[in-house]
Structure 1
Amino acid sequence: MEDDQTVSNKDIDSYLKHYNRWQQTAWGHRMTELLKRWTGYEFDAEIKWNNVLMIGIFHVIAVCSFAYYVWQATIVSYVWVRFIIRPEGWSRHFFDHVIEPMAIERFFIGGCAGFGVTAGVHRLWCHRSYKAKLPLRIILMCCYSIAGQNTIYDWVRDHRIHHKYSETDGDPHNANRGFLYAHVGWLMLRKHPECIKKGRLIDMSDIVSDPVVQFHHKNFVLMKMLFCFILPTFIPWYFLGEKFGMAFFSQCFVRYVLSLNFTWLVNSAAHLYGSHPYDKRINPAENRAVSMVAMGEGWHNYHHVFPWDYKAAELGNYSFNVTTFWLDVFSKIGWAYDLKEPSKDLVSKTIAKYGDGTHITARIGHMEEVPAPSD
């Protein structure tokens, strides 16, 4: 997707003038007025129409694709299977033709994509919460390419800005601007000038010096097309006997759109809904639902307090933090090492000083079914 940080690096002053005057153009003025009439919103930033169109098209096709296959299995096939073959055949048919292929793509291909985001670009390259040997770094790069997001460099830069200037104008997806903006709107608008200025101050020397990251950056389009679209479609079609239409639309649209939204929920839902057991002064919250779909990234209050913890969480089991499970597996074979985490004493002191009282240790004395009798 179109990124605007490089534009500001070339000529920040020229860009800021463009940022303030863009609505004077005929195209910008016409589309802005149309959106203002439809939504009632005032758009102060330039809308990135390429991103708006691409995101919109992919979402529409994803919804239509899923609805089509459900309709094929439930409406048309229902009449045939229900009244001609056998009563119990409908549920089997629905599972075979819709749920099963969708589940395979989500839990395998989607899981690989999620692992590339959570263990790779997030916990390794952005926060340096552990170290990884070359084979694991290559695996993470390929898995991240399946996710089909921005370059590793762009992702890391934006996320480091987000942590350093969270919920300010310097934050690329400032949750104070609302759920929709934090979720996807920030990708559809030019960055706030303050965000662009802050981005130029972020140290990216470790990313520039990583040969795996640089390979991905130089071959970004090829890697994205190959791992996000071509291979996920070709493998189930050619080797597993899947229909080409199902493979293409389920992988290139349904799986891709779901994967994007699961990642975006960390920026939106996990910044607006949930408890604050570690620091009640900040927006990021503990959100179990987000952790389930984002492979452990929803324990966000903890993560913003201890961003260098390789687990991105304190409590919970592997079922709500699949990424940690696989990192522990790779640590057993030596591919992941120097796994960082805070001491229990530091966590306890932080909970006592800044928590909102929802942490389990704060409720230990209030868990009796029957209160003790008074003297």
Structure 2
Amino acid sequence: MRGIARDAYTWALDHRVHHKYSETNADPHNAKRGFFFSHVGWLFLTPHPDVVAKRKTIDMSDLESDSIVMWQKRLYPVLFALFVIILPVFMPVYLWNETIWNSFWVNFNTRFCITLNIAFFVNSVAHMWGQKPYDKYISSVENLAVSVAALGEGWHNYHHVFPWDYKTGELGNSYNPSTHFIDFFARIGWAYERKSATGEMVARRAKKSGDGSYVYENEDDPNVWGYGDADIPGDDMQELQDMKD
């Protein structure tokens, strides 16, 4: 079962396929196939032939040249056993005389079940229930509950519209601990080349394809325009002209 080994390389491969072929048969956890499939079923069922084919077309050369990523991929079973099972289970037994039975069921089974399902909610719940302020034509949504549980990963409508934005959400200073984690390491030089969408770019996209739930910080922003305005940006003016033609 492919879902057993979710090392960084394997996860990144399927995530790239998911974004490139989202909501098609080539999407590994296509939300159009229902909640159960997108939540956990895709890990147990035989993948669609299109998924298998498209996985082979994704360029992974950047990660393949990263020695740390490939080291983690190679040693993933050992690292998983050590950091997910052995240390969480045996530390309470050693430090405060917890029974190994209780520690196994609480610190491995229960903890692992909860954290896995929170991660799976991003593929299921965050593609079904919530607002679509940036693009109402796709399934991904903004879901506060998932964002709280998944430490900022539930602002999914934004993430699919601007997948290259490292914040995975417009408001990096709102509830998004993952952004703060990256920013901390950027300050000490361990994270770099962060990319982010500008406020003007986000507002224009929300105005163009959002569901109307987007709250503009400045209603007079020249990039948020109405029909007949004299200061319509050049690209948008050309788009209007093409529509007329």
Length-normalised TM-score, structure 2: 0.84
The higher-RCO structure (CA 8 Å, 6+ apart) is 1
Identity %: 46
> In structure 1, how many angstroms separate the alpha carbons of the residues matched to 2:88 and 2:81?
10
Question: Partner residue of 2:224?
Answer: none
Q: 1:244 aligns with which of 75, 100, 105?
A: 100
> In structure 2, how many angstroms separate the alpha carbons of the residues matched to 1:345 and 1:241?
57
* Mean Cα deviation higher: 149-158 or 250-259: 149-158
Q: Comparing both structures, which one devotes a greater share of its residues to helix?
A: 1
Q: 2:144 aligns with which of 288, 295, 301?
A: 288
1:255-314 deviations in Å (ceiling 9; x for gaps): 001111000000000001111000111100000000011111100000001111111101
Closer, same or farther: CA 212–229 of 1 in aligned 2, 3 Å: same
Deviation of 1:241 after TM superposition, in Å, equals: 4.3
1:157-189 deviations in Å (ceiling 9; x for gaps): 111000000010000000000000000011111
SS at match of 1:234: helix
> In structure 2, how many angstroms separate the alpha carbons of the residues matched to 1:149 and 1:256?
14
Where structure 2 has 5 or more consecutive residues not aligned to the other structure, the ranges are 221-245
Q: 1:353 aligns with which of 208, 219, 226?
A: 208
1:61-109 deviations in Å (ceiling 9; x for gaps): xxxxxxxxxxxxxxxxxxxxxxxxxxxxxxxxxxxxxxxxxxxxxxxxx
Question: Partner residue of 1:224?
Answer: 80
Q: 2:183 aligns with which of 310, 315, 328?
A: 328
> In structure 1, how many angstroms separate the alpha carbons of the residues matched to 2:127 and 2:176?
18
Number of equivalent positions: 220
Question: Partner residue of 1:176?
Answer: 32
Residue correspondence of structure 1 range 173-212 to structure 2 within 5 A: 173-212=29-68
> In structure 2, how many angstroms separate the alpha carbons of the residues matched to 1:329 and 1:243?
38
Deviation of 1:247 after TM superposition, in Å, equals: 2.0
Question: Partner residue of 1:304?
Answer: 160
> In structure 2, how many angstroms separate the alpha carbons of the residues matched to 1:154 and 1:354?
32
Where structure 1 has 5 or more consecutive residues not aligned to the other structure, the ranges are 4-50, 52-147, 366-375
> In structure 1, how many angstroms separate the alpha carbons of the residues matched to 2:219 and 2:91?
51
What amino acid sits opposite 2:83 in the alignment? F
Runs (4+) off by over 3 Å: 240-243, 362-365
1:22-46 deviations in Å (ceiling 9; x for gaps): xxxxxxxxxxxxxxxxxxxxxxxxx
SS at match of 1:295: coil
Q: Does 1:266 align with 2:140?
A: no
Q: What root-mean-square deviation, in Å, do the aligned CA atoms of Structure 1 and Structure 2 show?
A: 1.9
Deviation of 1:243 after TM superposition, in Å, equals: 3.7
Deviation of 1:339 after TM superposition, in Å, equals: 1.7
> In structure 2, how many angstroms separate the alpha carbons of the residues matched to 1:178 and 1:362?
36
